[in-house]
A and B are shown apart, each in its own frame.
Chain A
Amino acid sequence: MAHGYYLYFEDTDGDKSKSSLWVGDGVVAPSAMADLITALEPITTASVYKHAISNVVQGAGAAAQANPYDVRDKAEFRFTDDQGNIQTVTIPAPLSTIFLDDDTIDTANLDVIDFKDQCIAHFQGRGGEALVTFLGGSRIRAPRRS
């Protein structure tokens, strides 16, 4: 399968533009595209300030389950980061079993505890801030199925 490849441009007015392209299987890092960038820069007056590759990770094996909440409902987990800011992790179609009252995430639930530990281990803030403390969470209610 092809990988998404994105080029980001900015002109002298500060206006930005993005081109979405595809590259072959063998390209897994933006650095592999250096020759293309070298050939691109002379034909544009914009600065090519960033490029990105999208690498696909295979999903999990479990099938979707029947549940009161579909993907329009989200569980929002809230954390403090190492700068003292609030960071959120939002998960679609949360299982009803992780809530105390349909709205509040049960912080004593073992699956919640395992997941918040994984969030702290793997996720960051946009600026690279580490997630430090789980504060709790709630369900964001989307329109329900009729």
Chain B
Amino acid sequence: MPNLLQINYVDTDGETATSRHWVDETVTDEANDPETLWPELEAITSAQIQNADIIFDTELAGEAATDGPYDVADKAVLYFRDSAGFTQKLSVPAPEASIFETDDETVDKSNSLVQDFVTEVLIYLVTRGGAALVEFIKGRRMRKNRKGK
């Protein structure tokens, strides 16, 4: 399936716009030279081409969804501290009931599944500015709506 190329523009008033295009699945990052388009694009637009994003997605053939008390409108919201000392949060939709304490609200920090996930989060995820996440603080369930209630 093609990847999505989002080109971001700004005009002389500082107003911005984005055009969206589908490109070949082999075009995944700057190494594939998507910017070879820029000269022909610059010749027909008065806006500056600020940058572009290639949204490179992959379908997963993982586990099927299972029934549980919480659907995707419910989230386990996990709070982390970053290397600059700020709090960052991450939401997991449709959380497993077993990751909460008996109050059904508080994420159980001693749960091994939670610990495994937190370990991977601390390895891979960063803030928008690139700061590392360094500590899991707490987690709680945000109730949007419950099935059957």
| Residues on A facing B (Cβ under 8 Å) | 1-2, 4-6, 9-13, 15-17, 19, 21-25, 27-31, 33, 35-60, 62-67, 69-72, 75, 89-95, 98, 111-112, 114-115, 117-118, 122-128, 145
Contacts and interface: CB of A to CB of B under 8 A. Distances in A.
Q: Is the interface of B mostly helix, strand, loop or mixed?
A: mixed
Contacts of A128: 1-2, 22, 25
Contacts of A91: 19, 41, 44-45
Contacts of A72: 15, 17
B142 interface: no
A72 B49 CA distance: 15
B59 A49 contact: yes
A124 B1 CA distance: 10
Contacts of A25: 130
Interface of B: 1-2, 5, 8-13, 15-17, 19, 21-25, 27-30, 34-60, 62-68, 70-73, 76, 90-96, 99, 113-114, 116-117, 119-121, 123-130, 132
A62 to B, nearest CB: 5
A27 to B, nearest CB: 7
Nearest to A26: B124
A29 B56 contact: yes
B36 to A, nearest CB: 8
Contact of B47 (A28, A50, A64, A118): A64
